[in-house]
Amino acid sequence: MSDVNTATTALDAERAEKEYSGPMLAADGTPLKRSLNRALRRQKMRALLLIAPLLIFVLVTFIAPIADMLFRSVENEIVQNTLPRTTKALDQWSGEDGTTPDAPVYKALYQDIYVAQERKLHTRLGSRLNYELTGASSLFRKSGRGVDDIGEVYQDQFEDLNAFWKKGENWNEIFGSDAWLAQIKDWKKASGTPQPVFEMRDGIAGIFPQTASYYLIFADFVQTVDEDNLYKEDPWPLIYSAFYDDMAGDTAAAIASYSGPGATEIAEAAAAAPGFETVDYKAAFVKIDKDWGASPIWGTIRAYSPKFTSGYFLNAVDMQKSADGPQLRPENERIYGTLFLRTLFMSVCITLSCILLGYPVGWILANLPARSANLLMILVLLPFWTSLLVRTSAWKVMLQQQGVVNDTLVWLGVVADDSRLALINNQTGTIIAMTHILLPFMILPLYSVMKTVPPSYLRAAKSLGATNWTAFWRVYFPQSVPGIGAGSILVFILSIGYYITPEIVGGTTGTFISNRIAYHISSSLNWGLAAALGAILLAVVLGLYYAYDKIVGIDNVKLGG
Amino acid sequence: MKFTTTLLASSAIVGAGTLAFADAHGNMAKEMTLVSWGGAYQSSQDKAYVQPYLGMNSDVSAVWDESSAEAVAKLRAMNEAGNVTWDLVDVVAADAIRLCDEGLAMEIDADEVLAAAPDGTPASEDFGDLLVSDCFIPQIVYSTTFGYRTDMVGDTPPTKICDVFDLEAYPGKRALEKRPINNMEWALLCDGVEKADVYDVLATPEGQEKALAKLGTIKDSVIWWSAGADTPQLLADGEIVMGSTYNGRLFSVIEEQKQPVAMLWDAQVFDLDGWIIPAGLPADRLARVMDFVKFATDTQRLADQSQYISYGPARLSSAPMVGKHADLGIDMAPHMPTDPKNAENTFLYNYEFWADYRDDIDAKFQAWLAQ
Q: Same domain for B208 and B307?
A: no
Of B11-25, B102-116, B223-237, the poorest mean pLDDT is in: B11-25
Whole-structure pTM value: 0.86
In 10 A of CB A356, how many CB atoms? 11
Give me the phi and psi of A132, to 5 degrees please. Answer: -100, -35
% chain A with pLDDT above 90: 60
What is the signed CA dihedral for A155, A160, A162, A165, rounded to 10 degrees?
A: 20
Report the pLDDT averaged over residues B295-318. 93
Q: Same domain for B59 and B117?
A: yes
Q: Are A130 and B356 in contact (CB under 8 A)?
A: yes
Element (H, E) at B268: strand B261-276
Residue A14: its pLDDT value, please? 60
Of A133-137, A323-327, A554-558, B350-354, the poorest mean pLDDT is in: A554-558
Closest residue on chain B to A336 (Cα): B367
Q: Which residue has the higher pLDDT, A205 or A18?
A: A205
Residue A559: its pLDDT value, please? 67
Given an 8 Å threshold on Cβ–Cβ distance, is A124 in contact with B101? yes
The DSSP letter of residue A196 is P
Give DSSP secondary structure letters for A434-453. Answer: HHHHHHHHHHHHHHHHHTTS
Report the pLDDT averaged over residues A365-393. 89
Q: Which of A123, A402, A521 sits opposite B239 (nearest CB)?
A: A402
Closest residue on chain B to A138 (Cα): B356
CA distance A27 to A35: 10
CA distance B236 to B226: 17
Q: Same domain for B10 and B84?
A: yes
CA distance A396 to A389: 11
pLDDT for B275-297, tens place per residue? 999 999 999 999 999 999 999 99
Q: Quick check: B343 pLDDT over 50?
A: yes
Given an 8 Å threshold on Cβ–Cβ distance, is A524 in contact with B362? yes
Q: Same domain for B177 and B229?
A: yes
Handedness of CA B238, B243, B247, B248 (dihedral sign): negative
Which residues on B lie below 8 Å from A65 (Cβ)?
A: 3
Which residues on B lie below 8 Å from A126 (Cβ)?
A: 101
pLDDT band at B10 (very low <50, low <70, confident <90, very high): very low
Mean pLDDT score across all residues of chain A: 89
B residues 195-214 lying closer than 8 A (beta carbon) to A? 209
Q: Are B63 and B33 in contact (CB under 8 A)?
A: yes
Tell me the nearest-neighbour CA distance from B321 into chain A, angstroms.
36
Q: Are A494 and A388 in contact (CB under 8 A)?
A: no
Quick one: how far is CA B344 from the chain centroid? 21
pLDDT for A474-496, tens place per residue? 999 999 998 999 999 999 999 99
Number of A–B residue contacts, CB under 8 Å: 92
Which residues on A lie below 8 Å from B369 (Cβ)?
A: 508
Which residues on B lie below 8 Å from A135 (Cβ)?
A: 356-357
Q: Quick check: B20 pLDDT over 70?
A: no
Residue B188: its pLDDT value, please? 96
Residue A19: its pLDDT value, please? 58
* Residue at B331 is within a domain: no
* B223 Cβ contact partners less than 8 Å away, ≥ 6 residues apart: A425, A507, B173, B174, B175, B176, B230, B234, B239, B240, B243
The DSSP letter of residue A290 is G
* Residue at B141 is within a domain: no
CA distance B189 to A67: 47
Structural domain that includes position B22: 2-135+277-321
Given an 8 Å threshold on Cβ–Cβ distance, is B237 in contact with A403? yes
Tell me the nearest-neighbour CA distance from B28 into chain A, angstroms.
19
pLDDT for B157-214, tens place per residue? 999 999 999 999 999 999 999 999 999 999 999 999 999 999 999 999 999 999 999 9
Report the pLDDT averaged over residues A411-432. 92
Q: Which of B73, B357, B367 sits opposite A332 (nearest CB)?
A: B367
Cα distances from A36 to residues A19, A23, A39, A46, A354, in angstroms, run 22, 13, 5, 15, 52
Residue A22: its pLDDT value, please? 67
Q: Same domain for B214 and B362?
A: yes
Residue B120: its pLDDT value, please? 92
Residue B62: its pLDDT value, please? 95
Given an 8 Å threshold on Cβ–Cβ distance, is A64 in contact with B2? yes
Q: Same domain for B223 and B98?
A: no
pLDDT for B36-92, tens place per residue? 998 889 999 999 999 999 999 999 999 999 999 889 999 999 998 899 999 999 999
Given an 8 Å threshold on Cβ–Cβ distance, is A137 in contact with B73? no
Given an 8 Å threshold on Cβ–Cβ distance, is B356 in contact with A134? yes
Which residues on A lie below 8 Å from B6 (Cβ)?
A: 60
Which residues on A lie below 8 Å from B234 (Cβ)?
A: 400
CA distance A70 to A68: 6
Report the pLDDT averaged over residues B251-277. 94
**In CATH, what number does A336-556 get?**
1.10.3720.10
Which residues on B lie below 8 Å from A333 (Cβ)?
A: 363-364, 367
Given an 8 Å threshold on Cβ–Cβ distance, is A508 in contact with B237? no
pLDDT band at A17 (very low <50, low <70, confident <90, very high): low
- Residue B220 contacts A where some CB pair is shorter than 8 Å: no
Of A19-23, A423-427, A453-457, B324-328, the poorest mean pLDDT is in: A19-23
pLDDT for B119-136, tens place per residue? 999 999 999 999 999 999
Residue B226: its pLDDT value, please? 87
Question: Greatest CA separation found in chain A?
Answer: 121
Q: Same domain for B239 and B363?
A: yes
* Residue at B348 is within a domain: no
SS3 category, A236: coil
Q: Same domain for B33 and B114?
A: yes
Quick one: how far is CA B39 from the chain centroid? 13
Tell me the nearest-neighbour CA distance from A207 into chain B, angstroms.
36
Q: Quick check: A447 pLDDT over 90?
A: yes
% chain B with pLDDT above 90: 79
Residue A10: its pLDDT value, please? 61
Residue B14: its pLDDT value, please? 41
Given an 8 Å threshold on Cβ–Cβ distance, is B101 in contact with A333? no
Which residues on B lie below 8 Å from A508 (Cβ)?
A: 178, 224, 369-370
CA distance A534 to A438: 21
CA distance B48 to B221: 40
Q: Are A211 and A242 in contact (CB under 8 A)?
A: yes
* Residue at B224 is within a domain: yes
CA distance B96 to B102: 10
Q: Same domain for B115 and B258?
A: no
Element (H, E) at A480: helix A477-496
SS3 category, B150: helix
Q: Same domain for B235 and B183?
A: yes
Which residues on A lie below 8 Å from B103 (Cβ)?
A: 120-121, 123-124
Closest CA to A149 of A179, A173, A117: A117
Beta strands at A319-320 and A327-328: parallel, antiparallel or unpaired? antiparallel
Residue B2: its pLDDT value, please? 41
Residue A13: its pLDDT value, please? 59
Domain residue spans of chain A? 2-71, 84-303, 336-556
Residue B297: its pLDDT value, please? 95
- Residue B151 contacts A where some CB pair is shorter than 8 Å: no
Q: Quick check: A7 pLDDT over 60?
A: no
Q: Are A288 and A146 in contact (CB under 8 A)?
A: yes
* Residue at B154 is within a domain: yes
Number of compact structural domains in chain B: 2
* Residue at B306 is within a domain: yes
Kindly report the CATH number assigned to the domain that includes residue B254. 3.40.190.10
% chain A with pLDDT above 70: 95
Closest CA to A131 of B98, B358, B367, B204: B358
Closest residue on chain A to B73 (Cα): A522
Q: Which residue has the higher pLDDT, A249 or B131?
A: B131
* Residue at B140 is within a domain: no
Give DSSP secondary structure letters for A256-267. Answer: HT--STTHHHHH
Q: Quick check: A192 pLDDT over 80?
A: no
Given an 8 Å threshold on Cβ–Cβ distance, is A401 in contact with B239? yes
Which residues on A lie below 8 Å from B366 (Cβ)?
A: 335, 516
Q: Quick check: A188 pLDDT over 50?
A: yes
% chain B with pLDDT above 70: 93
Residue B89 pairs with which residues in a beta bridge? B35, B276
Q: Same domain for B366 and B229?
A: yes
Residue B23: its pLDDT value, please? 42
Given an 8 Å threshold on Cβ–Cβ distance, is B70 in contact with A120? no
Q: Are A355 and A487 in contact (CB under 8 A)?
A: yes
